[in-house]
Structure 1
């Protein structure tokens, strides 16, 4: 479950009122979220870096709310989506209508896909945010949402990589191609010197963030690259963008491109990003289309920003959740969850409009879940299951619980099985020999090098070893 950090004061300003921590925690719970932690930037760095005074020197003391977000709610991974969702949930505003439009002047911008991209990263989608206004908070949120999407639905850029560019610094039509790495040369983001793609692999091999993405294309004979009509390189996906087209606080038109190995995921990522930040455009909630010319000659306009309708049964909703609500009540509950709903002519079904920002809704069950959240899980009446038997504890589990208390009272320490721990923790520190002699599973790529083994041999014959 991803966690986002939002500045408390900025959040309250956007919501239009101030909450106590308890009040906001309650609001999050009612909306299906969880306020995980109330902290500050300084405290977060101290916790992550072990209190390094150099790293915390410039850190802010501003209060930050860390909020747990469901993994499939990509629209809530930034403060813009969170605020919109909460305001609609509280019935303070109506959910906006997102539109994909042609440019008011001139022709559609084009992005031409070359055949060699099929060897490495075949798909690309794009859109333009026109007349957007950045300040530092919006800019930071824009970058942070890209990072959250990269780590979540994009699977660390392996499925989708996002590139954002100052549209006014480049000239279309744009070309998406794949070339030998020695033929790609440009100045990467925040660098003044030009490097070939081969040199960039070496340059970023020790980079704290970028080194984890190099393997995606490093061993390929060709690397994906996006250029403009003048041959200026915009990006080397999925590694890094060009310094030439980087966005700043002064950027007014943003070209968003997403290269991918999964076209469906690319569409979701593009829709999510432009929906969240189109509210800062002069023509709110409106995005300019880009025409992608595929290798087979087909022309496709992105973003799609599709709305679709789903019809769900009122009887099924009430039965699945265990409530007895009227059609009007259920339609109102769904509308509060950003799913505008109305009653069908027969009065027995609910017609639900699923917006392009809610790609998590893929089945009727997802709609039932939103009804349950808006209704309130704590408001659902508890009932016994309508079955022939009533569940009870297994005898072996009851015996284990009784033994557990007695053994603990005798001075033994209970060890949790299937627990990630370091190799030293289950060998040297327990004085039981070498790690090679122990029947444990080893994690090949642990995120934390100090935690690399999964111990599982806590059988009675070895209990004396682990409790000594």
Structure 2
């Protein structure tokens, strides 16, 4: 399970409310988390949910805590500005690393805590959700140094040279895999390929060599970087989109202004990021049976709002709305779980079951997991 480090001072500033470590230990349970260790201002939190990359940052945790504390409830609100940025995808990446999504964030004030949170979130998403960069890899770059349009293409490994991040000399893509620590660690992801993926700008400057490493110029950011270009490449489009949304929303929660990027495939044109409402309708009686408690309709609606969702009950149907940075709301069981988390598992009186059953994943869940593999 992902363990992240957050600054207590930074967390309370983003939350807009002072909370003690003791209070935080109790509140973190509402996001399937646990305070693992406290070292001065640094709190180590284990997030026991591998399906929620949005929670692997202090910004994501604060977003959820605002709901639990009643500071902000219901669906979070985000605005994506129409950007004048284009990323052109060459068809020759199709058999190598076919999907890419991107975004621009301007006027962000990262500072020390924001920068470390961004890098940590990036790494946690790539290592866990991204299957050690095989499914998803993320790059963050200095927007001010990039000339658009940007090109995502596959090139001969010996045809291009650039200086990799934190290196002092130029290398070919093939040399990067052999001469750098990161290259050696992830070279197996490109094993057997005749061409390697590359992200370059209109000046021919290398931005990054995904999923391996950024350049040491455009691809290098710091706590003082104000304008950021984010790219996410991978083998699964939904995972790429979720990863991008998790990064973008964290930066938006720090005051960054988000702009879209037009992605031009040979057979399609899309804009990313896409932050939109989704909904799930299911049997209300089924939800109540799963919960096992006699809660009023208004109480259930309020509890779901605390989980940053919206809900409407009509006849025997409940309709849940959620933003698409969540991909873990699939069935009535998931909705019931959201209600119980907001209610507090510690408030539920334990009862010995009269019938013993063996739990397991549903056939639908098993199929979804297999397809995602």
**TM-score, L = length of structure 2:** 0.89
Deviation at 1:201, TM superposition (A): 1.5
1:245-277 CA distances to partner (integer Å, 9 max, x unpaired)?
122233222111111111111011011111111
- SS of the equivalent of 1:181 reads coil
Deviation at 1:76, TM superposition (A): 0.9
Deviation at 1:352, TM superposition (A): 1.5
Does the CA-based 8 Å contact 2:165-2:213 persist in structure 1?
Answer: yes
The yes-or-no answer on 1:67 pairing with 2:52 is no
Report 1:312-461 matches (<5 A). 312-344=282-314, 346=315, 348-387=316-355
- SS of the equivalent of 2:148 reads coil
Structure 2 distance, partners of 1:223, 1:282, is 32
Counterpart among 232, 239, 244 of residue 270 in structure 1: 244
Does the CA-based 8 Å contact 1:272-1:356 persist in structure 2?
Answer: no
The yes-or-no answer on 1:295 pairing with 2:266 is yes
Structure 2 distance, partners of 1:18, 1:252, is 28
Structure 2 distance, partners of 1:20, 1:357, is 29
Counterpart among 74, 81, 90 of residue 101 in structure 1: 81
Structure 2 distance, partners of 1:282, 1:212, is 33
Query: What residue number does 1:55 align with?
Result: none
Does the CA-based 8 Å contact 2:86-2:148 persist in structure 1?
Answer: yes
Does the CA-based 8 Å contact 2:37-2:45 persist in structure 1?
Answer: yes
> How many residue pairs align between the two structures?
354
The yes-or-no answer on 1:184 pairing with 2:155 is no
Report 1:2-401 matches (<5 A). 2-38=2-38, 40=39, 62-69=40-47, 70-94=49-73, 95-103=75-83, 108-204=84-180, 207=181, 210-245=183-218, 246-281=220-255, 283=257, 287-296=258-267, 298-344=268-314, 346=315, 348-387=316-355
The alpha-carbon distance between structure 1 residues 336 and 169, as it changes in their structure 2 partners (threshold 3 A), is same
Does the CA-based 8 Å contact 2:4-2:120 persist in structure 1?
Answer: no
Query: What residue number does 1:428 align with?
Result: none
Deviation at 1:381, TM superposition (A): 3.6
1:41-88 CA distances to partner (integer Å, 9 max, x unpaired)?
xxxxxxxxxxxxxxxxxxxxx342221211112111000111121121
Query: What residue number does 2:361 align with?
Result: none
Bigger radius of gyration, 1 or 2? 1
1:365-388 CA distances to partner (integer Å, 9 max, x unpaired)?
22211111111223334344354x
1:130-179 CA distances to partner (integer Å, 9 max, x unpaired)?
22222111111111110010111111100111111111101111111101
Structure 2 distance, partners of 1:21, 1:177, is 48
1:106-132 CA distances to partner (integer Å, 9 max, x unpaired)?
xx3111111211231111111111222
Does the CA-based 8 Å contact 2:105-2:256 persist in structure 1?
Answer: no
Query: What residue number does 1:446 align with?
Result: none
Structure having the higher strand fraction is: 2
Higher relative contact order (CA 8 A, sep 6+): 2
Deviation at 1:282, TM superposition (A): 5.3
Query: What residue number does 1:439 align with?
Result: none
Mark the runs of 5 or more structure 2 residues left unpaired by the alignment: 358-373
Query: What residue number does 1:412 align with?
Result: none
Does the CA-based 8 Å contact 2:138-2:230 persist in structure 1?
Answer: yes
Query: What residue number does 2:370 align with?
Result: none
Structure 2 distance, partners of 1:333, 1:314, is 15
- SS of the equivalent of 1:165 reads strand
Structure 1 distance, partners of 2:4, 2:293, is 33
Deviation at 1:229, TM superposition (A): 1.1
The alpha-carbon distance between structure 1 residues 360 and 180, as it changes in their structure 2 partners (threshold 3 A), is same
Cα RMSD after superposing both structures? 2.0
1:209-248 CA distances to partner (integer Å, 9 max, x unpaired)?
5532121114321000011111111000011011121222
1:159-212 CA distances to partner (integer Å, 9 max, x unpaired)?
1111111111011111111011001211111233211112112212xx2x5532
- SS of the equivalent of 1:97 reads coil
- SS of the equivalent of 1:152 reads helix
